[in-house]
Amino acid sequence: MYTIRVLLAEDHVMVRELTRASVQREEDMEVVGEAGDGEEAVRLATELKPDVVIMDVHMPKLNGIEATKRIKELQPSIAVLVLTAYDYDQYIFALLEAGAAGYLLKGLKIYELIDAIRAVYAGEAVLHPVVARRVIEHLISPTPAGVPGTEPLNEREVEVLKLVAKGVSNNDIAERLVLCLNVVQTHLGSIFNKLEVASRTEAILFGFRKGWLTLKDLP
């Protein structure tokens, strides 16, 4: 069984210690590093190449938004899971646009955090319900389809994107559409390339902006 390698980026020592203890209890996870500020988070992410970074927003030296942006530029394969006390719109959208795969609010149950780590590691999008509502409210009015610099998705790719928005895993998408798993992964790769995004979350946001996704496409 593969062990998910997690890096913690949190300036509050007690919160970091509690998170580390919770993650370390899981047989399929290990904490490979801890950062107390944004600059250290970027450095450790580059050196250690974890699978998932749990990122706070407010940190010394470099905030979570800029740290996320730099990590995704240097190591695009790393999934950044935001865990913060703040649900301000400017933070939510800045972090999602920076490439965060998930946005959770502190106060959630431990099992929810653990499930979210596994989900973003698997390439899925994870949004706290409050955050999801904010995203929907802002994206309910789609932008015109002909946005420069993007290619249109074909019918099958839109179908796959709608299932992604519902939170359906790659395996279940393959089963529902009667496709091989490799074909589903190829479709997802094509979607990411056409939209110039690196995560399911970004693809879903783009889908709303383009009008390919509506409220009925959500879980």
Residues ≥6 apart with Cβ < 8 Å to 147: 209, 210
Contact yes or no for 164/199 (Cβ under 8 A): no
pLDDT band at 150 (very low <50, low <70, confident <90, very high): low
pLDDT band at 124 (very low <50, low <70, confident <90, very high): confident
**Encoded amino acid at 163, one letter:** L
Whether this model's pTM surpasses 0.75: no
Residues 51, 116, single domain; the answer is: yes
Number of independent structural domains in the chain: 2
Residue after which a domain boundary falls, among 136, 157, 187: 136
Residues ≥6 apart with Cβ < 8 Å to 102: 79, 80, 81, 82, 116, 119, 120, 125, 126, 127, 201
Per-residue model confidence (pLDDT) at position 88: 79
Helix (H) or strand (E) holding 30: strand 29-35
Residue after which a domain boundary falls, among 136, 152, 169: 136
- Name the residue range of residue 11's domain: 4-136
Per-residue model confidence (pLDDT) at position 146: 47
Residues 54, 159, single domain; the answer is: no
Residues 173, 203, single domain; the answer is: yes
Residues 181, 130, single domain; the answer is: no
- List, for residues 5-25, the tens digit of each pLDDT value: 999 999 999 999 999 999 999
Residues 65, 96, single domain; the answer is: yes
Mean pLDDT across 144-158:
71
- In sequence order, the β-bridge partners of residue 8 are 34, 54
Residue after which a domain boundary falls, among 113, 136, 159: 136
Residues 29, 66, single domain; the answer is: yes
Residues 130, 153, single domain; the answer is: no
Residues 38, 118, single domain; the answer is: yes
Residue 216 CA, chain-centre distance (Å), reads 21
Residues 25, 113, single domain; the answer is: yes
- List, for residues 19-72, the tens digit of each pLDDT value: 999 999 999 999 999 999 999 999 999 999 999 999 999 899 999 999 999 999
pLDDT at residue 77 tops 80: yes
DSSP secondary structure letters along 131-143: HHHHHHHHHSSPP
pLDDT at residue 140 tops 70: no
Residues 124, 201, single domain; the answer is: no
Q: What is the C-alpha to C-alpha distance for residues 114 and 64, in angstroms, rounded to an integer?
A: 20
CATH code at position 207: 1.10.10.10
CATH code at position 15: 3.40.50.2300
Residues 23, 130, single domain; the answer is: yes
Per-residue model confidence (pLDDT) at position 139: 59
Q: What is the C-alpha to C-alpha distance for residues 26 and 23, in angstroms, rounded to an integer?
A: 6
Residues 118, 12, single domain; the answer is: yes
- In sequence order, the β-bridge partners of residue 31 are 6
